[in-house]
Amino acid sequence: MSAPSIFRLANRSRAAASFKLPSARRAPVVCIQKSAFSVTAPRASDPHGEESFEEFTARYENEFNAVQDVFELQRNLNNAFAYDLVPSPSVITAALRAARRVNDFPTAVRIFEGIKAKVENKGQYDEYLKELEPLREELGISLKESMYPDN
């Protein structure tokens, strides 16, 4: 027997075993075979649903302080910026220090682009820049605006 015919035979036997034939008195019933693997993940309630801003700040400071590679840094940044709030300057400081620790200059520049996208107005962005200016100078991080002034 060739391989395709064995495959067709296997599919026919599995399909025939999945359905019970209807009798005269009952409606057709579909039997679901359990597989060894789950097809859906169990849903748990959101553990951070009622998290305050202070708890959020402390959690992300700890996560950025524990970063050991670029993947962890970028994953934590994506998670931090996914919320409907702008991370505090202390979280940004921890993220910038983590970017320096893993030697990732482009991500450090992108952190400031993320802040610019998240704040409501130019004044808030300027406040972040003013507060983080000493750290930017210490770590040697340039802004995209200063590297590409025409854009």
- Is the predicted pLDDT of residue 41 greater than 80, yes or no? no
**Selected residue with higher pLDDT from 110 and 27:** 110
How far apart (Å, rounded) are the C-alpha atoms in residues 135 and 116?
17
Residue 122 CA to residue 115 CA, distance in Å, equals 11
Q: Which ranges in 19-120 belong to alpha helices (H)?
A: 53-65, 70-81, 89-101, 105-118
- Count the Cβ atoms, other than its own, within 10 Å of residue 46: 8
pLDDT reported for residue 130: 96
Q: Is the pLDDT of residue 23 over 60?
A: no
Q: pLDDT tens, 80-125?
A: 999 888 999 999 999 999 999 999 999 999 999 999 999 999 999 9
The answer on pLDDT for 5 being more than 60 is no
C-alpha of 98 from chain center: 18
d(CA 126, CA 121): 9
- pTM score: 0.66
For the chain, the average pLDDT equals 80
- CATH 1.25.40.40 for domain 53-147, yes or no, is yes
Residues 6+ apart with CB under 8 A from 99: 73, 105, 107, 108, 111
How far apart (Å, rounded) are the C-alpha atoms in residues 94 and 67? 10
Task: Average the pLDDT over 49-74 and give the result.
Answer: 92
